Structure 1
């Protein structure tokens, strides 16, 4: 299977403009079998309520566009987008071909001030097998592992809109390699990490303030982790390609977690910064959300 991940420029704004940008990249690919876009690829990644004005209506527009791209370029496609359904906003990812949307995964532990959170499913069933999808932070949490550990999977996809300190590239790459390789080795299937590049936009809370002060941005670092196959050179800096065989596999080994976290991290940061931020974000979301907000 010829797999392509697209490391998009998050600074390109506007859904029509981004669709043109993405299609121009798709058109440059040679015989893609599946194209995988990052988190919130359609609208660009945003971690504030400013994103709400770009939300789809139950995935209708994104689904139509995905099927159009799949038909035009004879490929499967995975697309990240912001969705509005039954009075709530969701960070979602779908996989489609020209005829069908095979499934949709919602981010379980999404940006608390912006998105509906919950324990959502992680598997999309396709003609080439089950695809396990974890959007950004979910990839490092035990809920995702619990969802897929007893399932056959053919491919694992981690769409990200993940900022980090660009001055500490080695640390970011080491972290990415750690959790992606953990899944690649446990399931013996290709793992696709696909992130965007661009500046960090406003993110509410203490964590957002700390990231902005430290000069965080989205650095890409997209990579396809596969033990067999060969890289595909495209000549486009946004495109990472790999030609590899895929087949349904069951988990070969366990993955160790620290409580609910795959990355051990800093206990005090989680307790003093992250957890209070999430609680405040949930309260902010509940105070602002309304079924009438979506125009």
Structure 2
């Protein structure tokens, strides 16, 4: 199984962001005869300003079917890849926005989707200072674990990483790999990004595929940490890219995952009840 994460430095220019992703897919190093799973970061097509711009884009695009979703479907088909398509905004019933990631197969068909459960309402000692995603975004209400040729793939987004119950719930639902599109701030990423990813990998005994935004966005109004990384079920970093834009790649061996779970069956040993998702609005 060949896995490729794309680290981006996205802006508010949708066309420019889309052109960058397409150009990188055109250069994607591939192993002949192997299916390719590509993971893009959070907000890969629209990022860098206030979160309200996500909703403004939807209201101005004038289409029931999101042009961003269609563009991602077209890329998956054109480049013959399974694609975790970062995140795109989707209108919710209350006129807020779902931060949604889609999984497309290599024919551009949607295999499943996931709406970000945990919204980033925090204060951070950076240039932005205050983040209030719930002003714009609506939280999701389900977990997603999807059958793929690569194994059962769970989906999470950025701030979800801090909530181990979600990751345990995905493991209980059969997850073997977990894709994490993200845009961690530089401040929180420097402190917590790598240890959280390794902890989630070790706890769930899953491969974690964490694709990140990196660098300064829109002349420094936002700054993200980067360090896209692939971590195995033992917590080992298989591949990473600390800074800059480009690909992070690894070939995964599912037999290693099976051996780790057999030798240390933590899921069977756990004496606590499986987590239950609380419905909120």
Question: Structure 1 pair 117/229, CA: closer, same or farther in 2 (3 Å)?
Answer: closer
Could you tell me which of 30, 34, 39 is aligned with 2:42?
39
Partner residue in 2 for 1:208? none
Q: How does 1:230-245 map to 2 (within 5 A)?
A: 237-245=245-253
Unaligned runs of 5+ in 2: 120-132, 276-280
- Structure 2 distance, partners of 1:59, 1:134, is 23
Give the deviation of 1:15 after TM superposition. Answer: 1.6
**Alignment coverage as a number of residue pairs:** 238
Given that 1:58 and 1:83 are in contact with CA atoms closer than 8 Å, whether structure 2 keeps it comes out as: no
Partner residue in 2 for 1:82? 89
Question: Structure 1 pair 9/189, CA: closer, same or farther in 2 (3 Å)?
Answer: same
Partner residue in 2 for 1:107? 116
- Structure 2 distance, partners of 1:46, 1:141, is 26
Partner residue in 1 for 2:151? 129
Question: Structure 1 pair 45/232, CA: closer, same or farther in 2 (3 Å)?
Answer: closer
Given that 1:109 and 1:117 are in contact with CA atoms closer than 8 Å, whether structure 2 keeps it comes out as: yes
Give the deviation of 1:6 after TM superposition. Answer: 0.8
TM-score, scaled to structure 2: 0.72
Give the deviation of 1:34 after TM superposition. Answer: 1.0
- Structure 2 distance, partners of 1:49, 1:230, is 36
Partner residue in 2 for 1:157? 179
Given that 1:136 and 1:161 are in contact with CA atoms closer than 8 Å, whether structure 2 keeps it comes out as: yes
Could you tell me which of 72, 85, 91 is aligned with 2:99?
91
Q: Give a deviation string over 1:91-137, Cα, whole Å, max 9, x none.
A: 01111011421111001122111101243323233343321111111
Partner residue in 2 for 1:195? 212
TM-score, scaled to structure 1: 0.69
What SS does the corresponding residue of 1:50 show, helix, strand or coil?
helix
Q: How does 1:221-260 map to 2 (within 5 A)?
A: 221-226=227-232, 237-246=245-254, 252-253=265-266
Unaligned runs of 5+ in 1: 166-170, 202-211, 261-281, 283-295
Given that 2:8 and 2:245 are in contact with CA atoms closer than 8 Å, whether structure 1 keeps it comes out as: no
RMSD, matched Cα:
3.4
What SS does the corresponding residue of 1:112 show, helix, strand or coil?
helix
Question: Structure 1 pair 5/58, CA: closer, same or farther in 2 (3 Å)?
Answer: farther
What SS does the corresponding residue of 1:69 show, helix, strand or coil?
helix
Partner residue in 2 for 1:168? none
What SS does the corresponding residue of 2:172 show, helix, strand or coil?
coil
Question: Structure 1 pair 252/91, CA: closer, same or farther in 2 (3 Å)?
Answer: farther
Q: Give a deviation string over 1:19-78, Cα, whole Å, max 9, x none.
A: 111100111112270110011112225543122122376664333222321222111111
Given that 2:82 and 2:103 are in contact with CA atoms closer than 8 Å, whether structure 1 keeps it comes out as: yes
Give the deviation of 1:175 after TM superposition. Answer: 2.0
- Structure 1 distance, partners of 2:139, 2:65, is 18
- Structure 2 distance, partners of 1:176, 1:41, is 19
- Structure 1 distance, partners of 2:167, 2:64, is 27
- Structure 1 distance, partners of 2:137, 2:183, is 15
